A and B are shown apart, each in its own frame.
Chain A
Amino acid sequence: MPDNVIETHGLTHYYGKRKSVDSLDLAVPRGSVFALLGLNGSGKTTTIRLLLGLLEPARGRATVLGHDSATLPPQVLGRIGYMNEEHQVYGWMRVDEIERFQTGFYPRWNRDVFAAVTEHFNLDRRAKVRHLSRGERAGLSLALTLAPETELLILDDPGLGLDTIVRRSLMEAMVYVTRDSNRTILFSSHILTEVERVADRIAILDRGVLRANCALDTFRERVRRVSLRFDRPPDRPPDIPGLLHSSTLDDLLTLTIANYTPQTEQQLRALNPREMEDLPLSLEEAFISYVQSPCKSTLLLSRLSPRQGCTDDCPP
């Protein structure tokens, strides 16, 4: 029985006439490190704000820790750690004052975690928050998010604008959180190499529509690029389900395919190529092929129910 800390059903939101989130069905299993991916404006932040009840959906609903997002009671909010893109913290407070202020909102507050993170970032506990650099503010924001040891962490593009060293610390912190298998992280990001390190599940949003939702390993295995060499290549791209991209160069046809299965291989062999070769494809390239494909509607992995699509391949 899967235990989801977040579920959305037909979640839809508009900014004016533009659909920013379109009939989103999403489930985030407990204990996962779940990456929400998408280009700018794809609806990641809007989704997160809907989950936290900071925005109201036009249709559909979301539940977080079993409670409707629209009416999250304070004791449920106290079980969620949220870090926003801007690392907004009260500028007029000192670092130690803000810690004392925050402890009041959370049932658990681990002073050791707060001290460890702030020391790691070399924060002066007596410094005024508004005098901190961007990296230091991110460190403070991270300390404030981690210290309550909440069962759910929601991090909206936590690495945005931070240097490599700070981002590395952020990833270490995320891996540290997985020590407790009951804790879940939902985060959005643009940096695919970092996603590949720390995430075990991914969802791809494209103009508000969910295009993929599966285990990261499944995505890596099923989105493939193959080259086929022909005596005479076909005139048109072959009709292969999940074809994301196709290009022909002389006798060489290169295809990028989502949801590659043994049947796909049979279909490709049926084209009678002289040679067939698997080409390496990084997560970043796979992602780019995915969001750049001209196909507008929902595609593949998301059209399958989670059970058919991926969940069965995930470790229990």
Chain B
Amino acid sequence: MSLEIHIHLGADPIYKQIVDQVRRPAATGHLQPGDPLPSIRALAERLIINPNTVARAYRDLVSQGVIEARQGVGYVAAERRRVFSAEERRRRLDQALDPLAQEALVLDLETSEIVDALEKKLASLRNPKQRKRNA
């Protein structure tokens, strides 16, 4: 599949936007291990950004274990593995929960409704991977 990456100039630095937009499909299975990423040069020219910015994003993704450089092929999505400690994963989850919890409180939702909605969301995001595995 071709990876959709869009950038929006504002609060988030460009390299971080690229990192996020590769991590997400890698986590949900839209990007499977071995799937190629655009070359640094190609992505820079497509997004009209400095190639060093793409290089920086790819470096971060390699160190997070999301992608890897393969000789003669370029960058590909990596086999999923856990590079963060349990504590770090907890911290990151906590950070991500903040806006969700705040919005839910503003909307005056019951805890059970929030939990239900979260479970449905996770199931729908995980689906494509399962479909691919069964195929």
How many residues belonging to B are interface residues under a CB distance threshold of 8 Å? Answer: 20
Q: Which A residues are in CB contact (< 8 Å) with B116?
A: none
Number of interface residues of A (CB under 8 A): 23
* Tally of A-B Cβ pairs under 8 angstroms: 53
Q: Is A220 an interface residue (CB 8 A)?
A: yes
Main secondary structure of the interface of B (DSSP, over half): helix
User: Do residues A315 and B55 form an inter-chain contact, with CB atoms below 8 A?
Assistant: yes
In the complex, whether B75 has a CB less than 8 A from a CB of chain A is no
Cβ of B44 and Cβ of A175 under 8 Å apart? Answer: yes
- List residues of chain B with CB within 8 A of the CB of A175: 44-45, 48-51
Give the contacting residue for B53; candidates A172, A179, A200; CB below 8 A.
A200
B residues near A196, Cβ cutoff 8 Å: 9, 13-14
Is B24 in contact with chain A by the CB < 8 A criterion? no
Q: How far apart sit A280 and B15, CA to CA, in the bound complex (Å)?
A: 15
| Chain B residues with CB under 8 A of A33 | 50
Given A175-B44, A217-B15, decide whether A197 and B55 contact each other with a Cβ distance below 8 A: no
Q: Are B41 and A179 in contact (CB under 8 A)?
A: yes
The verdict on B52 contacting chain A, using a C-beta distance below 8 Å, is yes
Query: Chain A residues with Cβ under 8 A from B45's Cβ?
Result: 172, 175-176
Interface of A toward B, CB cutoff 8 Å: 33, 168, 171-172, 175-176, 178-179, 193, 196-200, 216-217, 220-221, 280-283, 315
Question: What would 5 A/B residue contacts be, using CB atoms closer than 8 Å?
Answer: A33-B50, A175-B49, A197-B9, A280-B11, A315-B59
